[in-house]
Amino acid sequence: MLLPCYNEEVAITAVIDGFRAALPDSKVYVFDNNSSDKTAEVARDAGAIVYSERRQGKGYVVRRMFADIDADIYVLADGDNTYDAASAPRLVQKLVDENLDMVVGKRVEVENTGSGAYRLGHRFGNQLFTRTVAFLFGQRFTDILSGYRVFSKRYVKSFPSTSKGFEIETELTIHSLDLELPVDEVETPYAERPDGSESKLNSFADGFRILLTIILLLKENRPFMFFGSLFALCAITSVGLAVPLFMTYLETGLVPRFPTAVLSTGLMLIGFMCLVCGLILDGISLQRREAKLLRYLSLPTFKPESDRS
């Protein structure tokens, strides 16, 4: 059980107790990310194994968790007591029964809790990013920003994380889509934070970082689509500028707007350069994808005790 925490003194005890009751055989690890309150002390008193990560950001914390902890199954959740600990056995069971590599807890707001659990702006942003990822990488999830996830060991130990902050969920999702790993989604209740606990999410700043992450991962994992789109944009603009010039040339035999002609030619040249870059990088991306798959396949899949010889 992995719980990244930053100033969650108010909620962490309830989170630890809830997951310990739901998964009594699991070890609970709390990774404190430079909290200014007593999160680490409270978590330790509640019976969790406490680590620290000095680099600020959830992405750094998850990277450290995946590197330091060795287990057959990993359950990742936030330490703010918004995710339903009682749902953890369902997520784990689905992972085991269907031999999956990741199960995402799709957030469903608990009724009669007000609007603080899943704010309209966050819901809209989540849907926007989810649809964008579905269009670019494939439709497998309806909540790509959920922080409640269950992983297999082979997923965790073959995941090359580069994220620093809250964009880590986007990277986790796109990694599974890029390699076409066996994954699924399960609805789980999503509640408000307890009184005294404050959200660390900055809607606009973190939203921009998530969008930038999607664009960068598109460039890295789908370079032909990325650079091909730039080629199409440049080519369409170039042709749009060239058509009036060509019509004028046919009528008068002159090119009076010479700078526009130079711009049109330059845009077309840049477009073809993007196209060539996309073709070259697409081959490199294929090799990188094969290397990641080979690393993934080199790790053993989880087998329950009853299936082991």
> How many residues are recorded in the chain?
309
**Predicted pLDDT of residue 119:** 63
> Nearest to residue 69, comparing CAs of 17, 29, 103, 32?
29
Determine the Cα–Cα distance for residues 181 and 141; give it in Å rounded to an integer: 13
Q: Residue 32 above 50 pLDDT?
A: yes
Kindly state the average pLDDT of the residues 252-267: 89
Task: Give this prediction's pTM.
Answer: 0.86
Question: 66: closest CA among 171, 141, 143, 146?
Answer: 171
pLDDT digits (tens, 9 = 90+) for 159-182: 998 889 889 999 999 999 999 999
Confidence (pLDDT) at 115:
46
Look at 177-186, 200-209, 261-270 and tell me which has the smallest mean pLDDT: 200-209
| 58-75 average pLDDT score | 95
Mean pLDDT value of segment 151-157: 96
pLDDT of 39 higher than 70: yes
Average of per-residue pLDDT across 202-207 = 78
Longest dimension (CA), the chain: 87
Mean pLDDT of 215-239: 96
Which one is predicted more confidently, 272 or 120? 272
DSSP letter string, 261-273: HHHHHHHHHHHHH
Per-residue pLDDT tens for 82-137?
Answer: 999 999 999 999 999 999 999 999 999 876 555 455 566 677 888 999 999 999 99
Whole-angstrom distance, CA of residue 209 vs CA of residue 214: 9
Q: How far is CA 245 from CA 166, 251, 265, in A?
A: 49, 10, 12
pLDDT(226) > 60: yes
Burial (CB < 10 A; 0-12, 13-18, 19+), residue 12, is: buried
What average pLDDT does this structure show over 47-73? 95
Q: Is the pLDDT of residue 33 over 60?
A: yes
Among the residue ranges 27-41, 116-130, 238-252, 283-297, the one predicted with the least confidence is: 116-130
Mean pLDDT of the chain: 90
* Architecture in CATH of 2-221: Alpha-Beta Complex (3.90)
Separation CA 155–CA 59 (nearest Å): 16
- Report the pLDDT averaged over residues 195-202: 71
Listed by start position, the domains of the chain span: 2-221, 223-297
